[in-house]
Structure 1
């Protein structure tokens, strides 16, 4: 271990590679691997290297290189999106993940520099954890926002263990979990007393999580719909080129008929609500009356919520979620308002056009209140990623719905990381989340983040489940990101005040 700690002190290319490597190791803790032991090892070595760096410039460089390793490894799957148009952008393939990492890695320079303002000890750890969290939260302001892979998501282990660990998100959100995870990772390096304190706090954390999971559960009744998730498993090349568009549409119609019949058979008394994913309809649904009629016939009296493009003007398009009533008429429409940077939104830093079409953002979040569907918060794809920004202000729904098409990213960590954001939003907001994907993975989470059912990636499947009940308001659903913001800010202020108190006492 001493040999490892000495590498960054040497500087040069060995130290640089070491920092990049430690960032890559830290990424092993992210979903879907969730190898949590990797985080305290990598973060502890990074923190130590920053503390002993001979100059501020060296500390900043270590922060940048650690960020490059962490984000490049965590976002490696972005390369798959470029491969869908490799004949045009083959030269972008080596730069996809590193290019995005290059833009957000400088944020990790913030804790690397600020922590050096105070002496070593618990004040420095507090300042590091607080400034890391504040810098990470600032990613929502990058271009159209890119808050992907906060460190709090490392607690989303599969099954009940992960369910227990993420329950405090109902109080402090995923950014608050980030603060706690960073602080605990550093404390584990501070001797036996600190390790004991971390273990005690972890025990209390898990105890509260277990209590919350199993107490005061609101049971769903027959007034809740039966959600029929239709996963058509259409390859992204077919989506882009519209190859076999009719066969794709016909497949979704047949799956819908089958799903509605099964829902009525296995969940009598629950009215079925059918959900198709983003890119499911290969056309402009609001302009195609015959297609709407065929969907209504296939759904046999059940409402259908599905994704479709929509004209926003000459050469401009909305990415929309449309609600069809039982008779096929359009009851409601929602236009995606948060666009994916480099995927749907081209930042000014790009010297070329990567996107085949111009997508424009809609006016913002809304809540539908539909007779056979209930109060639902519709979202499209990327919007579920934004902690504290998934519910329209003053319009709390009974459930959240997001439709997506993660076929872009192949059978990689990308779709699974995306799915993890839906699980976290369920805990934060105290609302069930229905996550519907074209190629997988689709899932339904209850209001405490438990997996009620999911599909496999790359399979044509139906998933039929009764919609779980909503919980009461959580602290986070009331106060939003102000909770983790104040937590991180107060920790940073306490560290600075303690520094000056010690200085004045000398």
Structure 2
């Protein structure tokens, strides 16, 4: 078997190893595959005749990993296949091409260190540094970071996520790559990897056991999941039916929340209800009658938090969260600030037009909203929840986060599950409870330590009614931001170049 494998061209072996790595990502979480794929890439890079050959092998690995991990992007094209059928072969591979360039840099760069633990350290440090780089402009797509492989269900997943409060998911990625790459450093390397894993588990368990008291409780929150297929949302003839579905579900959910409030003996606790991204099939800020009908059906609600498209003073569209007050007036509005490249806006690097109408206009930036007498919250619209360290207004920390999204574009695939786990990590990093209202699912809520509170699965029309817990004090990461994983990654990478200890020479 080994001889047959070695006869396979190196570039093809790299693609296979990369695709194998994708099995570690949510929702599969087959973590042991990384103990094969990551050392395999390090070996392929070391066997290359030059840094160019190593770069090519790393690039092929990245194409395999990201294409397999992002296969669901094609579903979004198929929703409007009549217009964009020609993009089907390029959706996942096109995004993967850009990301794979960074894996090529990692593979080529790690050759600067000698084989063994030094190469492993440089490889892991470079991997984390390139992940940090792709969080910002041009790439702006920190999806499927390897640290997210630990966001698995159950107690172990919660424990393994806790260090994200100090070093974010990027730090978890660094630890993950160090452990996965440890076989490339021999028996001592594997022993060191085992020790790192044990310390990680101990640190996570200790943090859970020693969590400080929570802050003031949040509102009674009703998450409304309409389960409207994207094809129906695109059909303007279905607009009234969609609206009625959301009004009916909101009325049911708010009534249930009011009954829960009575049972809890908390008459002053405000009730808020949230609709997903672009759930309102029109322009809610201009539709007074729609707001009046809605709020008449939810008399116990202090406010509605509704995803809706709106047009600004210049006539350009914005992807927004519109708050509606009990008198049906419009309260504070949040406009999505971090738009999806090629989906909501057209990057300047593309010489031809893909996004219809020129795309949307981004909002001015993150905001903390106060509405209905509830504790302040930070709105995040869809894609915005995947950016570590960039989900909270640094000058006005909220008490909880609300992520509204429409993952119907991606079907019942890995995409919505990966998105959900990214949002969960933001709760741990910031020490804030996070609630998520998704059109077709998965709607869910997590407390400030990332522990699941409630969940409504894919493809179900319904509501989640939950008393939102309070926040934790600001975490180390929420105070220092990306400087934490950046400094840690640089230190690990530089350790590869520490002077070697000279062995003592016995003199005769």
Same-fold call, TM > 0.5? yes
Distance 1:218 1:55 in 2: 55
Greater shift, 294-303 or 165-174, is seen at 294-303
List, as ranges, runs of 4+ consecutive aligned residues in structure 1 with deviation greater than 4 Å. Answer: none
Contact persistence 1:365–1:391 (CA under 8 A): yes
Contact persistence 1:143–1:341 (CA under 8 A): no
Residue 28 of structure 1 aligns to a residue whose secondary structure is helix
Matches within 5 A, 1:411-422: 411-422=412-423
Q: What is residue 480 of structure 1 aligned with on the other side? A: 481
Please point out which of 60, 63, 75 is paired with 2:58: 63
Distance 2:460 2:469 in 1: 25
| Structure 2 gap segments, 5+ residues each | none
TM-score calculated relative to the size of structure 2: 0.94
Greater shift, 207-216 or 470-479, is seen at 207-216
Q: What is residue 71 of structure 2 aligned with on the other side? A: 76
- Cα offset for 1:3? 3.4
The reply on whether 1:17 has 2:16 as its aligned counterpart is: no
- Cα offset for 1:220? 6.9
- Cα offset for 1:145? 1.0
- Cα offset for 1:350? 3.4
The reply on whether 1:180 has 2:175 as its aligned counterpart is: yes
- Cα offset for 1:196? 2.6
Residue 141 of structure 1 aligns to a residue whose secondary structure is coil
**CA deviation vs aligned residue, 1:175-231 (integer Å, no higher than 9, x gap):** 01111111111113433333233222222211221222233353576x531110000
Greater shift, 144-153 or 359-368, is seen at 144-153
Residue 356 of structure 2 aligns to a residue whose secondary structure is coil
- Cα offset for 1:35? 0.7
Judging changes above 3 Å, is the alpha-carbon distance between structure 1 residues 217 and 267 closer, same or farther for their aligned structure 2 residues? farther
Matches within 5 A, 1:190-339: 190-216=185-211, 218-219=213-214, 224-268=218-262, 269=266, 270-302=269-301, 303-313=303-313, 316-339=316-339
Distance 1:373 1:423 in 2: 22
Please point out which of 146, 149, 153 is paired with 1:151: 146
| Structure 1 gap segments, 5+ residues each | 9-13
**CA deviation vs aligned residue, 1:443-501 (integer Å, no higher than 9, x gap):** 101000011001111110110111011001111011011000000111122212336x7
**CA deviation vs aligned residue, 1:150-195 (integer Å, no higher than 9, x gap):** 1111111112111011111011100011111111111134333332
- Cα offset for 1:326? 1.9
Q: What is residue 390 of structure 2 aligned with on the other side? A: 389
The reply on whether 1:51 has 2:52 as its aligned counterpart is: no
Judging changes above 3 Å, is the alpha-carbon distance between structure 1 residues 335 and 103 closer, same or farther for their aligned structure 2 residues? same
Contact persistence 1:130–1:488 (CA under 8 A): yes
Judging changes above 3 Å, is the alpha-carbon distance between structure 1 residues 261 and 55 closer, same or farther for their aligned structure 2 residues? same
Distance 1:135 1:298 in 2: 50
TM-score calculated relative to the size of structure 1: 0.94
Residue 374 of structure 1 aligns to a residue whose secondary structure is coil
